[in-house]
Structure 1
Amino acid sequence: MSLSATHSITPEQFLLQLWEQNHGAIGRTLVATEADPSARDDLKQDIFMALYQSATRLQAAENPRAYLFRIMHNVTVDHIARAQRHKWQPLDENIQQQMLDECPSLQVDEQLQNQQLMRAVQQLSLANQQVILLALEDLDAPEIADILQISHGAVRVRLNRAKTELMELMQNDK
């Protein structure tokens, strides 16, 4: 059916015919305008929606193909302008750090590391477990010595042994 018999079809049917007849030109415009395939799909949808909203005017237009290209041009110009306004800019370091701190994948990674650490701590001797758990609570050697009622030197020896053993256990767990 040609576009000349426009009064016997609905505006939507007319639009689909016009779209099919000009799909090559539309595709070339899309490829020339947008390099990113995902953004190109969005642009294609935007163009089709603008055409759909103007389907009745398109069907009544003296030159529907020229009207189609005018709508495509307008939508494409808007797309380019939006892309320019939303161009990537480096984030302020504080905002970037805040986003990283709130990042769920980093929190999950941290939880996995903590779980791995706790599994390794469970494999230590009881004496080394006590010392390393207190050290993980940010207690220093004199405080640990006081809590466990052992000498300061004994705490340092146990901490060194526990750290060495933990590093080996965590390397083997990977």
Structure 2
Amino acid sequence: MTRSNTSTATPEQFLLALWQQYQGAISRTLMASEADAAARQDLKQDIFLALHQSAERLQTAELPRAYLFRIVHNVTVDHIARAQRHKWQPLDDETQQQMLQDCPSAEVAEKQQSQQLMQAVRRLSPANRQVILLAMEDLDAPEIAEILQISHGAVRVRLNRAKTELMEVMQHGR
């Protein structure tokens, strides 16, 4: 969304346009954060509600994309904390792998590879998972720093650590 569009659109119109523009990135973030489809849908609704409640602030934000991802990040972190308190158990990785291996199509192989990446991302430490998810959405260091409210230098350090940890998880299944 450009600044010129923000002055003529209502906050709700602005939010819907922003949602449409970034719904793919939001969905990928959800896939990496939550394995259970029903819980992922609940999380998506929680995020949209939080965005709706912040529509006016989103519209006037200097960096609307960064502000949007900060909201997504905060709601997701709250969701993960609640899930850990309730000790919800998603389908284990081995069962998911076996279910995918039973279907031989090429499309499933691609989904399996994508799912393996998301499973590996889920295994990262929370700080590394946060930064790698944002980087996977093509957010740059200043935007990530704004979202996580840390310095640019800290973002670069976390990205390097996250990449190293992700490669280790992918290679060794840690």
Larger radius of gyration: 1
